[in-house]
Amino acid sequence: MDTNVSPPSTTTTVTPPLPKTRKLIPISQPIPILPTSLAQTYTHIHPILLLSLFYLRFPSLVSSPVPTLLSSLIPLSILQLSYAILCLPPSSTRHGLNHDPNDKSPGNNKIESPRPDQLRKRSTPKKDSPDHPFISRIIPALLSLTLTLSLSPPLLFTILILFGAPLTTHLPHTFLLATHVSLLAVLPLFYVHGVNARMWREISSAALPGDEVWGGTVGTMLGAWGGAVPIPLDWYVPLSAPSHFSSVWKVFR
C-alpha cells in the first residue's frame, strides 16, 4: 500500500451525541367529537351538507368558476363554523384540562382523558360555562376563521403554484381554490389546536394521531391531489374541481 498516512493504531471517529431519537415523537392525543347527542349527529350530517353544497353548485361551477367559488365561500364558512362549534372542543377548553391532569371538573368536556404531557405552557385555563356552551365556542370559532383566512390561503396558493398551477393566468381560480381548501382543511385545526407552536410543528410533520379533524385535513389534501389527476384529460376545466373532490374525500373518512 502506498500511504500518505501511516496506518493508525487507534481510530476514533468522533460522533456528536445524537438526540435520543432521530425523529419527533408526537405528544398530542386524538381529539374526540363532543359527547352531546347533537354533536354525534351533526358530525354525520356535516359531510352530507358539504356534498349537497357541491352538488348544488356544480353546474354553475363548470360554467362560471370564479363567481361560484367566491359565492360558495360564505355557505362553506358557515358550514365549517357550525361543524366546529357543534362538534369539536375548542383548543382553550382542552388546554385547561391538559394543564391539570387531575382536574376532574364536570362539564361537557370531561370526555377527554388526562393528557400525559406536561410540556405545554399554559395561559389561564378557561372553564367552559355549562350555561352557554355554544357562546363560549363561537368566539374561538370566529378567531379560527380569521386566522385561517389570513394565514392559510397564501401558503396553499404558493403550494398550488409549485404543483404547477398556471403562473400568469387563472390566478383568481387558484387563490379561491386555496381558500376553499383552507376552510375545509385548516379551520378545524385552528379551532381544536389553537396557535400552540408545538402543535403546529406536529401538524407540519403530519404526525398527529388519527382523529376526525386530522382525517378531514388529510382527506382534503389527498382529495385535492387526486383531484388533479383528471386535469390532463380535460385541460379546459381549470383547477377548480379539486376542492370539491376534496369534500367528497372527506365523506369517506
Partner 1 sequence: MENNATFTTHPNGGLKNTPRRQTEEEEDKEDRISAINKRKKIQFQASHTLLIAFFFWIFSLHALGIYFFTKGFLLTRLVLDSHSKCASSPIEFEQQGLRNSSSGCWHPKTFDKAVIIIIDALRYDFTVPVGSEHHHYHNALKVLYETAVEQPHNAFLLPFIADPPTATLQRLKGLTTGTLPTFVEFGSNFAGTAIEEDNLLRQLRAAGKNLVHLGDDTWHSLFPGYFDDNLTHAYDSFNVWDLHTVDNGVTEHIIPLLHHEEVEKWDVIIGHYLGVDHAGHRYGPDHPAMANKLHEMDVVLREIIALLDEQTLLVVMGDHGMDAKGDHGGESDDEIEAALWMYSKKSAFGRLNNDSITPPNNAKERPTAQIDLVPTLSLLLGLPIPYNNLGSPIAEAFVGTDQPDWKNLMTVNAISSGQISDYQRSYSLARGLDDGVFRSSNILREKAFRYWFNAVASNVLEKEFKVVFEMFTAYQKDTLRLYRSLWARFDVTSMVEGIAILFVAACVLAFYARSAALHGVEYIPVYLLQTGKYSVAGAILAGTVKIVDPSLVFMDSVLLGLGLGGVLGFGVAVTMTRAALKYDDLPIPSSVWGWLSVIFTLLQAIGFASNSYTIWEDEILLCFLSTFGVVALVSSFRQNSASVRSAGIAQSVLFLVLARISSLSRLCREEQMPHCKSTYYASSNSSTSAPWQLLIPLFLAITLPMIIKLYYVQTLSYKGPAVLWIGFTLRLGLLATAAFWILDAADDNDWFGDRKSIIRAFKMILARLTLGLAFVAGTTYYLWAKPCVSIEVSSRRNGADAPHDPPKKRITVVGYMNMHGSRYFLLVCNWIIALILVQKPMGAGAIGALVVQILALLEIADANNISQSAIGPVILGALGSFHFFKTGHQATLASIQWESAFIPLQTIIYPWSPMLVILNSFGAQILTTVAVPLLATWKQPPKSRGLLGSIAKAMATFILYHAIINLATTVWAAWLRRHLMLYRIFSPRFMTGATVLLLLDLIGILVAIGGVRSNFISVAEVFGW
Q: Smallest distance from the beta carbon of 249 to partner 1, in angstroms?
A: 16
Q: Based on CB atoms, which residue is closest to partner 1, 24 or 38?
A: 24
Q: Smallest distance from the beta carbon of 15 to partner 1, in angstroms?
A: 6
Q: Smallest distance from the beta carbon of 241 to partner 1, in angstroms?
A: 15
Nearest to 164, CA basis, from 216, 223, 229, 222: 229
Q: Based on CB atoms, which residue is closest to partner 1, 5 or 74?
A: 5
Q: Based on CB atoms, which residue is closest to partner 1, 19 or 106?
A: 19
CA count, 13 A, side-chain hemisphere, 75:
14
CB atoms within 10 A of CB 203: 19
Q: Based on CB atoms, which residue is closest to partner 1, 3 or 63?
A: 3
Q: Based on CB atoms, which residue is closest to partner 1, 74 or 235?
A: 235
Cell matching residue 76: 362553506
CA count, 13 A, side-chain hemisphere, 87:
23
Q: Smallest distance from the beta carbon of 95 to partner 1, in angstroms?
A: 22
Q: Smallest distance from the beta carbon of 25 to partner 1, in angstroms?
A: 8
CB atoms within 10 A of CB 235: 7
138: Cα separation from own chain's centroid? 18
CB atoms within 10 A of CB 75: 14
Q: Smallest distance from the beta carbon of 121 to partner 1, in angstroms?
A: 19
Whole-number Å distance between alpha carbons of 179 and 201 = 22
Name the residues that contact partner 1, by CB under 8 A.
Answer: 1-16, 18-19, 21-24, 159, 161-164, 167, 201, 204-207, 225, 228, 231-233, 235-236
Whole-number Å distance between alpha carbons of 203 and 64 = 35
Nearest to 253, CA basis, from 29, 40, 44: 44
SS3 (DSSP) at 68: helix
Q: Based on CB atoms, which residue is closest to partner 1, 93 or 246?
A: 246
